[in-house]
Amino acid sequence: MLREDFLWGGAVAAHQLEGGWQEGGKGISIADVMTAGDYKTARKITDGVLDGENYPNHTAIEFYSHYKEDIKLFAEMGFKCFRTSIAWTRIFPEGEEEQPNEAGLKFYDDMFDTCLQYGIEPVVTLSHFEMPFALVKKYGGFRSRKCIDAFVRFSEVCFKRYKDKVKYWMTFNEINNQASYENPWAPFTNSGIVYEEGENKEAVMYQAAHYELVASAEAVRIGKEINPDFQIGCMIAMTPIYPYSCNPKDMMMALSGMQKRFWFADVHVRGEYPAYILKYLASRHIELDMTEEDKEILKNGCVDYIGFSYYMSFVVKAADNNPEYIYHEEECKVDNPYIETTDWGWAVDPEGLRWSMNWLYDRYQLPLFIVENGMGAYDKVEEDGSIHDPYRIEYLRKHIKAMKKCVDADGVDLIGYTPWGCIDLVSAGTGEMEKRYGFIYVDKDNQGNGTLKRSKKDSFEWYKNVIKSNGEIL
Ligand code: BGP
């Protein structure tokens, strides 16, 4: 049985739904300068000026002006919590001004108050791929130590302002996703970096991640001072890595992959780098700018819980020309012959969720919070306006079953479950609107046309009953 106070809800990120990209004095974030892409074309970075290009995040689904209506619908589904992020550029338009922007702070006050009126607890990510573009232009994002102070200051302002409204926080969304530093699909890494031709990307990635981890730890320390009741977590993109076969070489490759993708969580939880990463960096001749003070900060800012997203699992195969098992995601990943994929090629693997929860809990013995899970799909609106999405229900049902099994049979401590994109929004990966996750349909297409009208899909009623029965009726 799930706990009585289990936090059922839904998850989104500011830049993927708010729109209002210049309302209330908001500055420009990295999301605002990315054009739309699709499954075949990566998103491009331009200066964000409207020159006939489609910038889907500029308007997104206009949650900025529709939040009351949307939160009312979440309340109708019985949400106990709502996970969103605070757009850094609403609070500090250029990332690091002397004074925060009052209009931005006020927006989140009103939005959180609306949630609280319905008994919905806000769960807040401080940085969800929303770095101020000004900091990218000035410092190259988290290439620079300067961004540590900027992030810590932003966090402190948010903690102080919302200390009586928000209890659950997360610092950086999917901090470990930058481990796929050779991913040509991500124009910016989530630390706001655009790689330059010919540079040692791996070294750049580790350095930026280090600065982010220091920034996160310092924010955790300050947050707990502001309100000792805060629960501040990390946020990890959980993708279990299976060996292709029982060949010990495949096993070693999978182990190497797990280490390269999940060492970030070791630092967040234990406050220090694991030996395997320090040795690996030395073997690659990567010397990090890591001061004694940084090490102290890391020790004093360990997280309270592990937030994680779960969409899919990976499979890797060893190669003869890679005897040291150096993990290059693009090279060693292979398809899993036992598993079906979504229309976007993501492996659907509910057992992998149970596997992941066990792995995380065994390793860290901290409460877990599933803060993203779901399947992007095309939806069709019928003539009568109804939207039948049995595939979404099926996906979520199987994952919730696996999650419950893990709590009941394996004893994992789980705080809550917030499926991704509870209302349709802009895809982070591709910029599409038509890669939909929601229980609530939003009338808008990939070209940006549509009335923005909200409609309930079949999954809306289904999820409502899931919540009402605390996961017993699936
Ligand atoms: C995660 C991100 C989310 C979200 C989700 C789905 O990686 O934290 O922001 O977008 O993936 O991905 P996509 O939007 O590319 O379908």
Query: By the 8 A CB rule, do 55 and 32 touch?
Result: yes
Q: Span 236-248, mean pLDDT? A: 98
Put the strands of the sheet holding 241-243 in their side by side order: 241-243, 314-316, 333-334
Nearest to 96 by CA among 141, 136, 153, 156: 153
Q: Does 429 sit in the ligand 1 pocket, CB within 6 Å?
A: yes
Which single residue is written with the structure tokens 């406050």? 271
Q: Span 56-75, mean pLDDT? A: 98
Whether the predicted pLDDT of 51 surpasses 80: no
* Concatenated DSSP letters of 308-349: EEE---EEE---TT-TT----HHHHEE--TT--B-TT--B--
**What is the pLDDT, as a whole number, of residue 291?**
98
**What is the pLDDT, as a whole number, of residue 49?**
79
Could you tell me the CA-to-CA distances from 171 to 76, 88, 155, 236 in Å, in that order? 29, 12, 8, 10
Ligand 1 centre to CA of 285 (Å) is 33
> If you take atom 9 of ligand 1, which residue's CA is the nearest one?
428
Q: Span 342-358, mean pLDDT? A: 96
Ligand 1 centre to CA of 429 (Å) is 6
Residue 328 pLDDT level (bands cut at 50, 70, 90) = confident
Query: By the 8 A CB rule, do 242 and 336 touch?
Result: yes
List the structure tokens of 303: 């997280």
Query: By the 8 A CB rule, do 237 and 176 touch?
Result: yes
Measured in degrees and rounded to the nearest 5, phi and psi for residue 139 equal -120, -5
Q: Span 203-230, mean pLDDT? A: 98
**What is the pLDDT, as a whole number, of residue 326?**
93
> If you take atom 16 of ligand 1, which residue's CA is the nearest one?
427
Q: Does 309 sit in the ligand 1 pocket, CB within 6 Å?
A: yes
Q: Does 308 sit in the ligand 1 pocket, CB within 6 Å?
A: no
Alpha carbons 404 and 313: distance in angstroms, whole number: 19
Ligand 1 centre to CA of 300 (Å) is 30
Whether the predicted pLDDT of 442 surpasses 90: yes
**What is the pLDDT, as a whole number, of residue 178?**
93
Q: Span 186-190, mean pLDDT? A: 87
**What is the pLDDT, as a whole number, of residue 196?**
92
Q: Which residues are catalytic?
A: 372
Alpha carbons 49 and 47: distance in angstroms, whole number: 6
Query: By the 8 A CB rule, do 391 and 399 touch?
Result: no
Q: What is the dihedral of CA 89, 93, 99, 105, to 10 degrees?
A: -40
Residue 80 pLDDT level (bands cut at 50, 70, 90) = very high
Tens-digit pLDDT profile for residues 275-325 = 999 999 999 999 999 999 999 999 999 999 999 999 999 999 999 999 999
Whether the predicted pLDDT of 17 surpasses 80: yes
Whether the predicted pLDDT of 50 surpasses 80: no
Residue 48 pLDDT level (bands cut at 50, 70, 90) = confident
Q: Does 342 sit in the ligand 1 pocket, CB within 6 Å?
A: no
Amino acid letter, 342: T
Percent of the chain with pLDDT over 70: 100
User: Model's pTM, two decimal places?
Assistant: 0.98
Query: By the 8 A CB rule, do 121 and 7 touch?
Result: yes
Domain ranges of the chain: 7-468
Q: Does 427 sit in the ligand 1 pocket, CB within 6 Å?
A: yes
Helix boundaries (H) for 300-452: 329-332, 350-364, 390-410
Q: Which helix H or strand E contains 440, and what residues bound it?
A: strand 440-442
**What is the pLDDT, as a whole number, of residue 180?**
87
Query: By the 8 A CB rule, do 384 and 458 touch?
Result: no
Query: By the 8 A CB rule, do 129 and 15 touch?
Result: yes
Tens-digit pLDDT profile for residues 82-136 = 999 999 999 999 999 999 999 999 999 999 999 999 999 999 999 999 999 999 9
Q: Which helix H or strand E contains 442, and what residues bound it?
A: strand 440-442
β-pairing, 454-456 with 440-442? antiparallel
Going by C-beta distance under 8 Å and a sequence separation of 6 or more, which residues neighbour residue 348?
Answer: 312, 339, 340, 341, 342, 375, 395, 398
Instruction: Ligand 1 pocket test: pick from 30, 427, 436 the residue with the most ligand atoms within 8 Å of its Cβ.
Output: 427
Question: What residues pair up with 132 in beta bridges, in sequence order?
Answer: 29
Give CATH superfamily name and number for 7-468. Glycosidases (3.20.20.80)
Could you tell me the CA-to-CA distances from 162 to 123, 139, 143, 157 in Å, in that order? 11, 29, 29, 9
Whether the predicted pLDDT of 41 surpasses 90: no
Instruction: Ligand 1 pocket test: pick from 38, 420, 435 the residue with the most ligand atoms within 8 Å of its Cβ.
Output: 420
Going by C-beta distance under 8 Å and a sequence separation of 6 or more, which residues neighbour residue 5?
Answer: 80
**What is the pLDDT, as a whole number, of residue 192?**
93
Percent of the chain with pLDDT over 90: 94
Please identify, by atom number, the ligand 1 atom nearest to the C-alpha of residue 129: 9
The distance from CA 41 to its chain's CA centroid, rounded to whole angstroms, is 22
Alpha carbons 183 and 301: distance in angstroms, whole number: 30
Q: Which range has the worst mean pLDDT, 49-63, 177-191, 416-430?
A: 177-191
List the structure tokens of 387: 């939207």
**What is the pLDDT, as a whole number, of residue 185?**
76
Tens-digit pLDDT profile for residues 354-395 = 999 999 999 999 999 999 999 999 999 999 999 999 999 999
Higher local confidence (pLDDT), 279 or 186: 279
SS3 category, 414: strand
Residue 34 pLDDT level (bands cut at 50, 70, 90) = very high
Alpha carbons 435 and 29: distance in angstroms, whole number: 22
Could you tell me the CA-to-CA distances from 474 to 342, 347, 356 in Å, in that order? 21, 22, 22
> If you take atom 2 of ligand 1, which residue's CA is the nearest one?
428
Instruction: Ligand 1 pocket test: pick from 61, 175, 309 the residue with the most ligand atoms within 8 Å of its Cβ.
Output: 309
**What is the pLDDT, as a whole number, of residue 18?**
98
Nearest to 459 by CA among 435, 439, 438, 434: 439
Ligand 1 centre to CA of 427 (Å) is 6
Q: Span 218-246, mean pLDDT? A: 98
Residue 474 pLDDT level (bands cut at 50, 70, 90) = very high
